[in-house]
Structure formats: C-alpha cells, structure tokens
Amino acid sequence: MEARVHGDILQWDFHDSFFNLTLKQVLFLQWQETRCTNASFILNGDDDVFAHTDNMVSYLQGHDPDHHLFVGQLIQYVGPIRVSWSKYYVPKIVTEDEHYPPYCGGGGFLLSRFTAAALRRAAAALDLFPIDDVFLGMCLQHAGLQPASHSGIRTAGIWAPSARLSTFDPCFYRDLLLVHRFLPYEMWLMWEALSRPNLTCGKRREIYGVGPGP
C-alpha cells in the first residue's frame, strides 16, 4: 500500500537479510547517483528511528553539500566479533584484521552528496563486507575521509539520569536529531509532543547515550 500510494519504496532482486544490508547500501548509493542527483544531503536510517527533521535541517544549513560530511554516533576502537553465536560474527576467513576503522552506527547518519560520491567510488574498489556500517567506515578510510560524531544522533538510544524520569519525556528530544529505537506509534506521539507551541521544559534535561555496540 505504501508503494501504491506514495511510490517511495525501492526493490531489488536479492534476499533481504542482515548480511545483505551492505549490498542494500551499495545499491541505494547507485540509485541515488542516477535518480536523486540534486539531493544536497542524505539521511540514511533504519525505519525504527525517530528523526527530528527540523533540527536536521537547521544543522545542515550550516554545511556545504560539496564538502565532506558524514556524522552519526561514532564507534571506534572495536574489531570483529569471533564468537560464532553472535549476530555480528565475522570469521577470520572474511578478515584477519582485528580492528575496524572508525565508523558510525548504522541506525542513522547524515552525509553530503560529496561524501556519497566518494563512498560509491570506494565501494566499487572494495570487496563487500557483511557488516554494513563497518563497510561504510572502510569506504571512508579508502577515500581518505573520516566519520564524525554528533551528540544529537543516538543510534544506541538514551537513558535518563534518574529512575524517576521517563526517557519518553519530549524535553529529552527537543534538541536531538535522531534516536533509535521507536515503535511507529511512539514516533507519532513524540512528533506531536515536540510540535506543541506550548511545550515547556523548565529545568534543563540532561540525557546520556547508551554505550555503542558493534
């Protein structure tokens, strides 16, 4: 129904699985090059993230789309998980490297059209890697570029400093760009709450990111 009404769903002929997310990323970047060439910036995110688009637009207005930009929740100083029961298991036959390059959590990140083009070129030169966000970090490294951290992008969620406070308080989200993870009805409720002209946040709310996973 979504595709019939809005025409905004892309389909390719491959099995949609966790380890094919890298292929999905590469195909999307190729589609963007041919069908969405005028886009200045790209939000790449899961379907269960809350995206505060007003804050994103305000942030991106201060950046040049023809310069490098790749921001999200930065993950660094980690490497492949070698235990076979893990969802993120990577055997040594895939890579013997014990350290990943810096990358941003795949739940959501922002990039410029300059960086999207650099990623396309790098992806064509590298073997696909089964962990999609790590692969994009590899592409950035190949292109001589670095991902950057943005405190307003929380792909590992948030937690409140006190058990008495609800992490669903809209005052926690007023200044953020993106948070993972939300159910569909929660996205609607949060957007409604943040859109209220009379939203009052008396005492400054401090939020903390959950430590990044693989």
pLDDT value at residue 210:
44
In 3D space, the residue among 183, 182, 191, 179 whose CA is nearest the CA of residue 154 turns out to be 179
Q: Measured between alpha carbons, how far is 66 from 49 in angstroms, rounded to an integer?
A: 27
Looking at residue 14, the DSSP 8-state letter turns out to be: S
In terms of C-beta density within 10 A (0-12 exposed, 13-18 middle, 19 or more buried), how is residue 131 classed? Answer: buried
Q: Measured between alpha carbons, how far is 178 from 45 in angstroms, rounded to an integer?
A: 9
How many domains, in total, are found in the chain? 1
Local confidence band at 206 (pLDDT 50, 70, 90 cut-offs): low
Whichever domain contains 125, its CATH number is: 3.90.550
In terms of C-beta density within 10 A (0-12 exposed, 13-18 middle, 19 or more buried), how is residue 153 classed? Answer: buried
In this prediction, residues 126-149 reach a mean pLDDT of 98
**Full domain range(s) for residue 145:** 1-214
**pLDDT tops 60 at residue 46:** yes
pLDDT tens, position by position, 61-97? 999 999 999 999 999 999 999 999 999 999 999 999 9
Query: Is the pLDDT higher at 63 or at 167?
Result: 63
Looking at residue 175, the DSSP 8-state letter turns out to be: T
**pLDDT tops 90 at residue 50:** yes
Check residue 131 and give left, alpha or beta (phi > 0: left; psi -120 to 50: alpha): beta
Mean pLDDT of the chain: 91
Q: 150, 71 in Cβ contact below 8 A?
A: yes
If DSSP codes are grouped into helix, strand and coil, which group holds residue 32?
A: helix
- The residue written with tokens 């910036």 in the block is 41
Question: Structure pTM?
Answer: 0.90
Local confidence band at 7 (pLDDT 50, 70, 90 cut-offs): confident
Q: 151, 177 in Cβ contact below 8 A?
A: no
Q: Residue 177, Cβ neighbours under 10 Å: how many?
A: 28
Q: Measured between alpha carbons, how far is 193 from 138 in angstroms, rounded to an integer?
A: 39
